Chain A
Amino acid sequence: MQTFDLASEGLRKLNQTLHAQNANTNQTEWNIVNPKGSHAIAVGLDAPISVTVNGSTGYYCAGMNQQADVHIKGSAGPGVAENMISGSVIVDGDASQYAGATGHGGLLVIKGNASSRCGISMKGIDIVVGGNVGHMSAFMAQSGNLVVCGDAGDALGDSLYEARLFVRGKVKSLGADCIEKEMRPEHLKILADLLERAGIDSKPEEFRRYGSARQLYNFHVDNAAAY
């Protein structure tokens, strides 16, 4: 286990050191202490390493992550795991706005709540939130899965494309072109798998599924008010 003190060694050195790791590295376990809400911690990683951040992070922690498993033992600021490609990011606390924005792949788990625009423009990432998500979550979400074990705020899934949304609690309102859909066995299976991978103990049967009504996919004058 390598320990890195962010307060004394600085952000530049941290990211440089983590970027220097490759597929054959022996230094696979990293422990970052004193993160103190710094921005851009462990961004652009591209190696099969485990990074634990002991405390809360600022903006964009684990941004554009590939391969690495990042565990934040605290809360995360805006844009955690933005544009993630692969690997995993686990947040023990809450996450601020735009968690998992535009993510292409990998798994983002937020044990607490996520703020507004969670999963905005997601493009294949899987996001599991133990608590609630704020308004405009999954706005223009293209693909992947967003699982919300608590409630969802206003305008969930507005202008949604092909992403799947699963919510166990209440949905304050659905956004344009987002509708509730039938939960079929294949969806229960996907959900069970996601909950298991996220280590969250919830029953898939208690969730509802939402998706795109696909009415806004091609312009039609009768839908003009929704644009």
Chain B
Amino acid sequence: MVRPGSFTISTSTTQRLIEVTEMKDEKTQFVSRTVPQQSWTFSNPINAEIRRAADTGIYDIRGGGAKRRVPHFDDLLFLGASISRYPLEGYREKCDTRVTLGTRFAKHPIELDIPITIAGMSFGALSGPTKEALGRGASAAGTSTTTGDGGMTPEERVHSNKLVYQVLPSRYGMNPVDLRRADAIEVVIGQGAKPGGGGMLLGQKISDRVAEMRNLPKGIDQRSACRHPDWTGPDDLEIKILELREITNWEKPIYVKIGGTRPYFDTTLAVKAGADVVVLDGMQGGTAATQDVFIEHVGLPILACIRPAVQALQDMGMHREVQLIVSGGIRTGADVAKAIALGADAVSIGTAAMVALGDNDPKWEKEYQKLGTTSGAYDDWHEGQDPAGITTQNPELEKRMNPVEGGRRLKNYLKVLTLEAQTIARACGKSHLHNLEPEDLCALTMEAAAMARVPLAGTEWYPGKAGF
């Protein structure tokens, strides 16, 4: 019930009650009328997107990962110690965090102090100083960084003690010299943000240096293929991996990176093809740029991927023999601990590393506003105007990201993630992060219980257990 001509648009029950009370006080005559009701289906953001599409004729392109809420590590809890399990003393009893990657075939496996690696992010998407900062931070924290779609830059090679070199469908900048200079090789089949999709780097970001590294004219939209140019299917992949091993004298671990789609089968096939390490990326995982519709509607949340992948490894007798790195929305030490408890050997971070360096920092709020957005929501990374100077090739903006300071911040953040994960592991009585196990976990929701295959809190049951 509202007085005609003076209603406010609201769907909130409380606000409606207040309006009605106020009107009663005014003792006016009421005309019965429904409150204007927004549609759940055709919400304001949806309608705005329809109008934007109608205006421009092009889909929305953006960076980042899925923004919708999906079942995630937040929906899991650790049980901690009790009478039946005793905890370890926080500061005195050891909780090891080291991990070795590539023990299956490589002559020189990668030894890391912490099970948290920096994910592949391309030079082109990120500025040169940002790549340097990632290298500095990761090296100081005893972990590895990864190149990306665009080749290896001297900055990142020099500043990364351990650098993983990606072999992507585009093969931009791919060359045997860098291959031999790498500490490990990652064959990228897919990414969680866009499984089945290629990359794009729009003209605004194709500077002279980026163009040269990619053998492309300056200023054009650069599309990276979604399939590898010289192999199709798992049998070919096996031969491709053989070739890479032969070129590098069987020294370097070979990772295979897959997007979260059919984790059981993809893990099986990657192992069959000869992978030393499987990297599995869920739909929350960031990307430099792709269609919003792709990010939000294709692929599985990482929570749904880990158990099937671990199952595949166990079914082949390869769990811990072939290491599993998972990524997609890792933010805290709790996320790290949960991923490891579900069976991963390590995790990888992209977005969180960028945030640690200063991405979306409220201190740039005025500039975000000028770009029509706000801190926390800025995702037009493909436009190259990043106020934080991270996802840009603009020489002026780049200066805002000091690689030494950025490296220090990233190192701090990685240390905090590690300390948090150790805190949890000790509370569960574990002397190594890898001793965490699904039995240490319970789920807060039915969905999370089903995906993580751990009991719903307070029960011994999860959907699918024993056929129910």
Q: Which residues on A are within 8 Å of B, measured CB to CB?
A: 11-12, 15-16, 19, 39-40, 43-44, 46, 58-60, 63-64, 66, 78-79, 82-83, 85, 97-98, 101-102, 104, 117, 120-121, 123-124, 139-140, 142-143, 159, 161-162, 217-219, 221, 224
Let me know if A44 and B175 touch, CB within 8 A: no
Interface check B171, CB cutoff 8 A: yes
Q: A64 to B220, alpha carbons, bound, how many Å? A: 27
With contacts A83-B174, A101-B230, A102-B229 known, what are 8 further pairs, Cβ within 8 A?
A: A39-B239, A39-B243, A64-B179, A66-B176, A98-B230, A120-B230, A121-B171, A162-B216
Of chain A, the residue at the smallest CB distance from B176 is A64
Rounded to whole Å, the gap between the CB of A81 and the closest CB of chain B is: 10
Let me know if B242 and A40 touch, CB within 8 A: yes
Rounded to whole Å, the gap between the CB of A67 and the closest CB of chain B is: 11
Q: A46 to B247, alpha carbons, bound, how many Å? A: 10
Let me know if A43 and B215 touch, CB within 8 A: no
The proximity string for B residues 187-227 relative to A, scoring 1 for CB distances below 8 Å and 0 otherwise, is 00000000000000011000000000011110111010100
Closest 9 CB pairs of A and B: A44-B247, A221-B57, A79-B230, A217-B220, A102-B171, A64-B176, A98-B230, A123-B215, A101-B230
**Can you list 14 A-B pairs with a CB-CB distance of less than 8 A?**
A12-B246, A40-B239, A46-B176, A60-B243, A64-B175, A66-B176, A82-B230, A83-B175, A102-B174, A161-B216, A218-B221, A219-B58, A219-B221, A221-B57
Let me know if B225 and A140 touch, CB within 8 A: yes
Taking residues whose C-beta sits less than 8 angstroms from the other chain, chain B's interface range is 20 to 34
Check A40/B246 contact, CB under 8 A, given A78-B236, A83-B174. yes
Let me know if B230 and A78 touch, CB within 8 A: yes
When distances are taken between beta carbons in the complex, the residues of chain B under 8 Å from A44 are: 176, 179, 246-248
* Cβ-Cβ contact count across A and B, 8 Å cutoff: 105
Interface centre among B58, B171, B175, B230 (most CB of A within 10 A): B230
Q: A63 to B230, alpha carbons, bound, how many Å? A: 11
Rounded to whole Å, the gap between the CB of B58 and the closest CB of chain A is: 6
Q: A78 to B203, alpha carbons, bound, how many Å? A: 33
Of chain A, the residue at the smallest CB distance from B170 is A121
Let me know if B239 and A19 touch, CB within 8 A: no
The proximity string for B residues 226-245 relative to A, scoring 1 for CB distances below 8 Å and 0 otherwise, is 00011100001001101100
Rounded to whole Å, the gap between the CB of A181 and the closest CB of chain B is: 16
Let me know if A218 and B203 touch, CB within 8 A: yes
When distances are taken between beta carbons in the complex, the residues of chain B under 8 Å from A83 are: 171, 174-176
Let me know if B217 and A217 touch, CB within 8 A: yes
When distances are taken between beta carbons in the complex, the residues of chain B under 8 Å from A124 are: 215
Let me know if B231 and A79 touch, CB within 8 A: yes
Rounded to whole Å, the gap between the CB of A76 and the closest CB of chain B is: 12
Interface check B249, CB cutoff 8 A: yes
Rounded to whole Å, the gap between the CB of B222 and the closest CB of chain A is: 9
Q: A59 to B239, alpha carbons, bound, how many Å? A: 7
Interface check B43, CB cutoff 8 A: no
Interface centre among A64, A78, A124, A143 (most CB of B within 10 A): A64
Interface check B364, CB cutoff 8 A: no
When distances are taken between beta carbons in the complex, the residues of chain B under 8 Å from A66 are: 176
When distances are taken between beta carbons in the complex, the residues of chain B under 8 Å from A218 are: 203, 219-221
Check A142/B175 contact, CB under 8 A, given A101-B229, A121-B225. no
Let me know if B175 and A59 touch, CB within 8 A: no
Q: A117 to B249, alpha carbons, bound, how many Å? A: 29
Q: A123 to B225, alpha carbons, bound, how many Å? A: 14
Interface check B461, CB cutoff 8 A: no
Q: A11 to B214, alpha carbons, bound, how many Å? A: 32
When distances are taken between beta carbons in the complex, the residues of chain A under 8 Å from B239 are: 39-40, 58-60
Let me know if A104 and B246 touch, CB within 8 A: no
Interface check B250, CB cutoff 8 A: yes
When distances are taken between beta carbons in the complex, the residues of chain A under 8 Å from B202 are: 219
Interface check B56, CB cutoff 8 A: yes
When distances are taken between beta carbons in the complex, the residues of chain B under 8 Å from A221 are: 56-58
Of chain A, the residue at the smallest CB distance from B247 is A44
Let me know if B230 and A60 touch, CB within 8 A: yes
Let me know if A40 and B216 touch, CB within 8 A: no
When distances are taken between beta carbons in the complex, the residues of chain A under 8 Å from B231 are: 59, 78-79, 98
When distances are taken between beta carbons in the complex, the residues of chain A under 8 Å from B57 are: 221, 224
